[in-house]
Amino acid sequence: MMFASVIVSITASDVNKVFEYKIPEGLSDLIKVGHRVLVPFGPRQIQGYVVDIKDEVEYDAARIKPIIRALDIRPVLTPELIQLAGHLADHYIASYISVIETILPAALKSKSKKMLSLHSPGGEAELAWQGMNLPHEVEVKTLSASQLAALKPYITSGEVIEETVLTQHTKKKYARALKPTFAPRGDFGRAYKQLELLDFIEQHDEYVLLSEVLEHGYTSGTVNELVKKGYVRRTDVVVERDPYKSRVFEEDPPKELNSEQEYAYNEIIRAVEEDTAETFLLHGVTGSGKTEIYLQTIAHVLDKGRTALMLVPEIALTPQMVNRFKARFGDEVAVLHSGLSHGEKYDEWLKVRNGGAKVVVGARSSVFAPVENLGIIIIDEEHETTYKQQDRPMYHAAEVAKYRSRYYNCSVILGSATPSLESYARSERGVYTRIELNHRAVTRTLPETKIVDMSVEHRSGNISIVSDTLREAIEERIRLGEQTVLLLNRRGYANFQICQDCGHVPNCPNCDISLTYHKAQYSLLCHYCGYEDGVKRECDNCSSDEVTFRGTGTEKVEEILRDMFNTGIVRMDNDTTRRKGMHEKLLDKFEQEKVPILLGTQMIAKGLDYPNVTLVGVLNADTMLNIPDFRANEKTYQLLTQVAGRAGRHELSGEVIFQTYNPGHYAIDLAQGNDYRTFYEKEMAFRRLARYSPYYFHVLFTVSHETVQKCLEATTHIHQALVKSVTDKAIIVGPSPSPIERINNQYRFQILLKYKNEPNLLEVLHEINLHYNELYKKEKLSLKIDVDPKYIM
């Protein structure tokens, strides 16, 4: 007798453990580690995942229930991914099942329904069944209370069977096809079209899609005649949902590397050949040719018979990156990101799992792609906070990548023009191997950067968001037929509505934040909970009609730019890119139609590479400086340096203009000179003094509840538990209200733990988490434990 250790699909903390089940004799050869199975659990039947198989258990085998059935032919999880799930659940204080369900595509999450059917015909059960005029199978929830009561005796006696049926969110896609029978041909007479169509179908030995036949101009009537005569039969076939099926990618041969690129490539290939889990920090200025190094490294890895994983931080980056990878590697590339439909993502995932793709390109969750025999993992723009998941399980893609690299003995490349301080500090200590690319590829020079002091502009009488310097530069680009990229990291039309008589600002009723005015919808929106209110002509507080709007978002700036320059503008922010495929459509429009201005939030700040962009303007370089987070300076430097790198990447030289009210701030000043090293040293001095990362590790505890009192009680309790459990070298900051104290009617309090080495910390965190999991059931008090947080907000 064999037994399976199963993790069941329930997120409750009291079942966050392995359960043992018998493997029935008929399934012993079928069920493997990684299979989904249907198991009895109390009165229910639910889905679970096999994480181990053994030939003996510690309990009485007679009391162990058997697995009902397997839900897959092939396992959905590899042994490596099961091992990874256990590690992440432990490290990030998450339930095992939540990590497993994060690893797998949403399409594999099953929905269940209770079904009733007659076990055998004849007898009173069948009479009762027929008397209710029920079909062969009926879903329990469709029956009335009286019908259920009438059937209950027969369910108890076993004459009516009750079973749980699981259905996936997304299944394989089928299409109608035509298959030739190759029957001996008779006389077609004058039916020339039928004969022509039969020749066309028989050219395809297996099948031809009906849609393809109709696209070639044949009619359903002609098809029906061939089916009637027995020359063709209809069938349903599985088709792959390929989001890039209609796209043509021109072949892109490898480019010649310059001396810096050649050195970087050779260093990485050395590690690839030695099969070592070495982590490289590829620190290269914008436009230094990091992507070409990635491509040629992957080509080498593929030649060795291994696979590759390439992560990019945002969906807006994906279109251009996909183009380059598809042009270089063709159908060997699978793309995984949240912009795909469930079906498309499921089919791409299947393609990877079945070995049809050797290269995976995608955003954060792609780090869990079921690729085996990994030869290289690349994380582009490694400094980006989007690699950190903000919901449970709160993993960081770079940490997952490094774990997978150790399993496969393959290298990891972390690439960035502005590395995170943590990564650069590790390279300073020799934990990572740092490679510098100090020059742009093909002898291009970095763009000239100017800083405009907006307080001086205002004193001189220019109250517009566009300085005279930037306006003149844009006008010159329009005259020359060149393109401009403008960054404003704030969407909407205006920041808030205000009464000029009493100063009242409409706030979100659910959150401690003002509502943002969106002109297109003529509404006030909360960007945290989604609350929407109409714009009012009178003040809610004093009934004055002297209400106006203050602050500026991308929607308003678009209007200002159209009035100022009377030219075409493409705007990219969360409002314009909400619908599927809009990122790519907007960027294609900007490139193909040579639209003079691309205006957007930080989604346009990195990865974009257009030969005609010669001017970059940052309308408010101070936006990120004002966030209440110790990484504010670092995020400002990174954003400014990254967006500046969009200018002058090809034949034409570039210019960059930063508009700011803080021209003397070192993050802005050093971004102007692209001086990362000096910025690193200044920022590290601040971090050392304030005892923040990378000098200390962090854990952020955030408690939320509908009352302030409960939040304060809980955070006080957590503070006391930490004081008892950690050493006196650790620093506990708080309890204190979160920077935004209330979101979606939940008050939020937090504690920040800073530490260097706490051997028992994981055990303490799991105990605290378990305690508050129980409290959540009773009092709806929620605790979020974020290990190595990227935001302290």
Say what the pLDDT of residue 565 is: 93
Cα 410 from Cα 85, distance rounded (Å): 19
Q: Do 98 and 394 contact (CB within 8 A), yes or no? A: no
Categorize the per-residue pLDDT at 149 as very low, low, confident or very high, splitting at 50, 70 and 90: confident
pLDDT of 717-774, one tens digit each?
A: 999 999 999 999 999 998 999 888 888 889 999 999 999 999 899 999 999 998 888 7
Categorize the per-residue pLDDT at 127 as very low, low, confident or very high, splitting at 50, 70 and 90: confident
Unique residue bearing structure tokens 């070298």: 729
Q: Could you tell me the CA-to-CA distances from 655 to 90, 290, 471, 591, 608 in Å, in that order?
A: 49, 22, 13, 19, 16
CATH 3.30.70.600 domain locations along the chain: 697-787
Number of residues that this document lists for the chain: 793
Cα 611 from Cα 653, distance rounded (Å): 10
139 phi, psi to nearest 5 deg: -80, 135
Q: What is the number of other CB atoms lying within 10 angstroms of the CB of residue 554?
A: 25
Lowest-pLDDT range, 17-21, 135-139, 370-374, 612-616? 135-139
Which residues are within 8 A (CB) of 760 and not within 5 positions of it... i.e. 6 or more apart?
Answer: 725
pLDDT of 425-453, one tens digit each?
A: 999 999 999 999 998 776 567 788 999 99
Task: Select the highest-mean-pLDDT range: 69-83, 363-377, 452-466.
Answer: 363-377
CATH 3.40.50.300 domain locations along the chain: 259-442, 448-491+553-687
Q: Which two tokens stand for residue 423?
A: 């990564």
Q: Which SS3 state, helix, strand or coil, does residue 137 take? A: strand
Say what the pLDDT of residue 552 is: 80
pLDDT of 483-526, one tens digit each?
A: 999 999 887 767 778 888 888 888 888 888 888 888 777 888 88
Say what the pLDDT of residue 670 is: 95
Judged against a pLDDT cut of 80, whether residue 559 lies above it is answered with: yes
CATH 3.40.1440.60 domain locations along the chain: 2-111
Beta-bridge partner residues of 747: 705, 742
108 phi, psi to nearest 5 deg: -90, -5
The pLDDT > 90 percentage for the chain reads 42
Average pLDDT estimate for 58-78: 84
Name the residue with higher pLDDT: 246 or 58.
Answer: 58
Ramachandran sector of residue 443 (left: φ over 0; alpha: ψ -120 to 50; beta: rest): left
Handedness of CA 563, 568, 573, 579 (dihedral sign): positive
Which residues are within 8 A (CB) of 246 and not within 5 positions of it... i.e. 6 or more apart?
Answer: none
Judged against a pLDDT cut of 90, whether residue 306 lies above it is answered with: yes
454 phi, psi to nearest 5 deg: -70, -25
What superfamily does domain 697-787 belong to in CATH? Ribosomal protein S10 (3.30.70.600)
pLDDT of 682-729, one tens digit each?
A: 999 999 999 999 999 999 999 999 999 999 999 999 999 999 999 999
Q: Which residues fall in the annotated binding site?
A: 499, 502, 508, 511, 526, 529, 539, 542
Q: Do 179 and 207 contact (CB within 8 A), yes or no? A: yes
Average pLDDT over the chain, rounded to whole? Answer: 87
Q: What kind of architecture, by CATH, is found in domain 448-491+553-687?
A: 3-Layer(aba) Sandwich (3.40)
Q: Which residues fall in the annotated binding site for Zn(2+)?
A: 499, 502, 508, 511, 526, 529, 539, 542
CA geometry: angle at 190 spanning 186 and 191, to 5°? 70
Question: For the structural domain made of 2-111, what CATH number should be given?
Answer: 3.40.1440.60
Say what the pLDDT of residue 176 is: 83
Q: What kind of architecture, by CATH, is found in domain 259-442?
A: 3-Layer(aba) Sandwich (3.40)
pLDDT of 326-374, one tens digit each?
A: 888 888 888 887 667 777 777 888 888 888 899 999 889 899 999 999 9
Q: 3-state SS string over 641-674? A: HHHHCCCCCCCCCCEEEEEECCCCCHHHHHHHCC
Tell me the pTM: 0.79
pLDDT of 585-597, one tens digit each?
A: 888 898 888 999 9
